[in-house]
Structure 1
Amino acid sequence: MKLSYRTIKHLILWTPTITIGLWEYLRHTVLLPYVSMDLGNLLAPVIVFLVTVTLLRKLFAKLEATQEELQRERMLKAALEEREQLARELHDGISQSLFLLSVKLDKLDRTDCSEAAREVSAGIRETIRRVYDDVRQSIANLRTLPAPGDFSWMASVEALGGEVTDAGIRFECEGRLPDRLLTSKEKVELLAIVREAVLNARKHANARTIRVAMEPSEGGGFRCEIADDGVGLGESDLKAFDRYGIRMMRSRAEEMGWRLEIRSAPGGGTTVTVEKEDRAARDDSPRTRLAFHERRKGGSRA
């Protein structure tokens, strides 16, 4: 039976008082011929102590667990409200502005202008269309990505695979990452990277098959690979400034301290690899060893 926060507080407050009352009642009505007054006074604090270390400890543990659950619910609600507000601002601001620009370009095309101006107008319209699609996808991601709470990682990947399959693309999932391996934030960030890589393959690469392979490592790390058989990208395209999806994936991976590698070639598909090194590897990495030696030098100078 799950107790409410108020009930647990009342039990903590009233349990010692009720314990003393019951003890005094039993002592005077039943135990008085067998227990002397001095012995009864000595046993009273002992009984309260025993009740405290048994029942009250469990109640305090339940109280802490209830407080943590309430805190998680407040954080979840705040995250959902923040996402909904951001999605609304994107829809009411950028989306409507892009639509207005498209309408003005249509008016421009109906005016007498040179062929070169029409070509520039067509290029601007295509750019607006792509940005509009990206904004719409960002809004959808904000409303579908899990909030920073406990959720099933594999269920989220399977749901993403269902979206891809519905679009007529073959989706393959190999291996699995147990939920206990990832923190709530790691689940959200890794799922965002996987979703972005899958959507890029679906929207821009004309891929027929998308494969997501994942495996844990012994030291608490993992490796996740998203591969497609699409048209691929050249080296210059991977580094282009307007590749916002790639920049977003790199930024998320860098923030989490993960290694992200993108391998692609025209006509050869694209492979995105996200890897979190295990603790032993991180502790023995060149950067870690250099930082250790710097600390030792600092300590020697001091």
Structure 2
Amino acid sequence: MLEDSDATEPAASIVTASEIIEADRASIAGEIHDALVPYLFAASASIGRLKAEIDAPADSPSAKRIDQLAELVDQAMAVSRQILTSTYPPELVGTLWARAARDTLGRLFGDSSVTVDWQLSADVNEVTEPVAVVCYRIVIEAVRNAIRHGKATRVEVVGRSFAGHHVITVADDGCGFDTEAVPSGHFGIKSMRGRAQIIGAKLEIESAPGESTVVRLQVPSHV
């Protein structure tokens, strides 16, 4: 089990974590600007040329698929720009974090056979903007890891509020992994732990090879 530091740690440690994360974010933003964005522009241009070459009727399956690809690339470009200018995801503007997470995952994995079961009480959305961002990011990352790395066929996202905490759990039926031997190039768990710590939340990850994975986020309701 990987467990984040306790939510009752002194505020100074959280501030330090925030500074470290922001430094990492600045570095990542540079990589996005220099490496990722040019590829997204190239992909967008290639999709445009492909659509012109195929010249299929607008209501044909091929044309619709190309339009979907173009929309995904446009969304990726918008998110990349947002990361370069702000920590607040554009998907959260004007909506609840749980709805935004559900919509984002639907766009990413809507064509897959994976079932994502959402069981969230309304009060888990009654949080501040920083907490909403963390909940959104961690749920997205946990579900994405379950599908891409865990090869899960079913994922449950459960959120309840009790005893002064919002508790959000992501559980899957995937192949699991050794929590003590995560490859150094996999930053998903590191980013989830860092995001949880920055708001004074507690993150637990339970898994083992051949078993399911459970990611549990506990956020103090007063944050």
From the superposition, tell whether residues 142 and 222 of structure 1 become closer, same or farther in structure 2 (CA, over 3 Å).
farther
8 Å contact kept, 1:226–1:273: yes
- CA distance, structure 1, for counterparts of residue 36 and residue 104 of structure 2: 26
Give aligned-pair identity as a percent.
30
Relative contact order, higher structure (CA 8 A, sep 6+): 2
Q: Which string of whole-angstrom CA distances, capped at 9 and with x for unpartnered residues, describes residues 98-132 of structure 1?
A: xxxxxxxxxxxxxxxxxxxxxxxxxxxxxxxxxxx
Aligned counterpart in structure 1 of residue 140 of structure 2, from 179, 182, 195? 195
SS where residue 113 of structure 2 aligns?
coil
SS where residue 235 of structure 1 aligns?
coil
TM-score, length-scaled by structure 1:
0.44
Aligned counterpart in structure 2 of residue 154 of structure 1, from 98, 106, 111? 98
8 Å contact kept, 1:148–1:184: no
Corresponding residue for 2:153?
A: 208
User: Hey, which of these two has a bigger chunk of helix by percent?
Assistant: 1
Taking only aligned residues, the RMSD between alpha carbons, in angstroms, comes to: 3.4
8 Å contact kept, 1:154–1:177: no
From the superposition, tell whether residues 189 and 233 of structure 1 become closer, same or farther in structure 2 (CA, over 3 Å).
same
User: Hey, which of these two has a bigger chunk of strand by percent?
Assistant: 2
1:25-174 aligned within 5 A? 90=32, 92-93=34-35, 142=80, 145-146=89-90, 149-163=93-107, 164-174=109-119
Aligned length: 155
- CA distance, structure 1, for counterparts of residue 192 and residue 153 of structure 2: 22
Corresponding residue for 2:198?
A: 255
Q: Rg bigger for which structure?
A: 1
Aligned counterpart in structure 2 of residue 182 of structure 1, from 83, 103, 127? 127
- CA distance, structure 1, for counterparts of residue 79 and residue 150 of structure 2: 20
Compute the displacement of 1:268 (Å): 0.7
TM-score, length-scaled by structure 2:
0.58
Letter in 2 for 1:205: G
Is 1:272 the counterpart of 2:215? The answer is yes
From the superposition, tell whether residues 141 and 262 of structure 1 become closer, same or farther in structure 2 (CA, over 3 Å).
farther
SS where residue 217 of structure 2 aligns?
strand
Unmatched 5+ stretches in structure 1? 1-82, 98-136, 283-302
- CA distance, structure 2, for counterparts of residue 249 and residue 273 of structure 1: 11
